[in-house]
Amino acid sequence: MIIVMRHAATKDDIQQVTSEVTKAGLMVNVSEGAEVTIIGVVGDKTKLNSDKIGSLSCVDKIVAVTESYKLANKKFHPEPSVVQMHNCSIGGKDLIVMAGPCAIESKEQLFESADAVKNGGAMILRGGAYKPRTSPYSFQGLEEEGLKYMQEARAKTGLSIVCEVTSIQAVNTAASYVDMLQIGARNMQNFELLKAAGKTTVPVLLKRGLCATIEEWLNAAEYIMSEGNQNVILCERGIRTFETSTRNTLDISAIPVIKSKSHLPIIVDPSHASGKKAYIASLSKAAIAAGADGLMIEVHPNPKMALSDGPQSLNPQEFKELMDELRLIAAACNRNLS
Ligand code: PEP
Ligand code: MN
């Protein structure tokens, strides 16, 4: 449930209500908006004397939150959340592009990619150090050595860095190297992994599962947030449908649906959604027009030689040209794209 305070409620009033809730053993989440303060309550409501709270003169009303996700719910936090990175913020007026290779293959390949994506206007360098491959015989990633290269690329370019983590051990290792942990589509409902990421203070990029509903996705975000880490960014990367012309089907409607249900930022990954570089420009434009807060795009210095996802990777020149086109769409949507 949420407790909506009256416009005139003071800090002391808010304190009185929150202590009433915490005394009963429940958790509070205070969201102070420009107009009104909302106190979200998480836990067993039967332990709470809601009539008493509802009768306080500083309380406007009590509203039940029927959805199972609370902290990720827009009702708890009506203002959009903005996740702060060292060189940018995600969820505000700026559109943030994360770009780089599917997998970190070598120091040279990563540094070349980092220069290329920075040159195109990306703010965050992506690169997989732990690769969740369909076949156990495919390249599995450089692991910690890859994370070290990412950190060097960060120092060289000033870009933030994001890497996927596929195990609790990888979360613990990567948390000290990266600016953002990525939980991949295949692990969206790996609840122990979500909880481990939630115990860190590193922002988490949570990709939508291959067959996950939006409700399941928001509950996955709730797992991270309920452990204390509120810095979650959602990433729509296409879902499995009967259609085989593209690797997955980009669910454009997920953007306005998420915006109506949650305060969390949402970005779109047109690379994994399409699987083909020819479609990346169209999907990126559609994502911006639909209100996405950013994009994640695979870029490789030489896609033909890529150890993974070459067919969906742009080369540096293609990335630069795409970014130029996207700036026009961003401007038309009143968003900034660097
Ligand atoms: C990735 O971004 O490298 C990746 C594996 O994506 P997804 O989890 O969306 O398949
Ligand atoms: Mn990939």
**Domains parsed from the chain with CATH numbers:** 2-63 (3.30.70.1140), 83-337 (3.20.20.70)
As for ligand 1, residues whose beta carbon falls within 6 Å of it are 102, 128, 132, 164, 184-186, 207, 237, 269, 272
76-119 pLDDT per residue, tens: 999 999 999 999 999 999 999 999 999 999 999 999 999 999 99
Average of per-residue pLDDT values in the chain: 97
Ligand 1 atom 3, closest CA? 102
State the ligand closest to the CA atom of 309: 2
- CA dist 68 to 30, 53, 64, 74, 313, Å? 18, 22, 11, 12, 37
Ligand 2 center from residue 104 Cα (angstroms): 11
Indicate whether 145 pLDDT > 90: yes
Confidence of residue 305 (pLDDT cuts 50, 70, 90): very high
Count of Cβ atoms closer than 10 Å to residue 2 Cβ: 20
pLDDT of residue 25: 94
Measure the CA–CA gap between 286 and 41, rounded to whole angstroms: 37
179-201 pLDDT per residue, tens: 999 999 999 999 999 999 999 99
pLDDT of residue 34: 84
Handedness of CA 15, 17, 20, 22 (dihedral sign): negative
Indicate whether 220 pLDDT > 90: yes
Atom nearest to 208 CA in ligand 1? 9
240-299 pLDDT per residue, tens: 999 999 999 999 999 999 999 999 999 999 999 999 999 999 999 999 999 999 999 999
Indicate whether 35 pLDDT > 90: no
pTM for the full model? 0.96
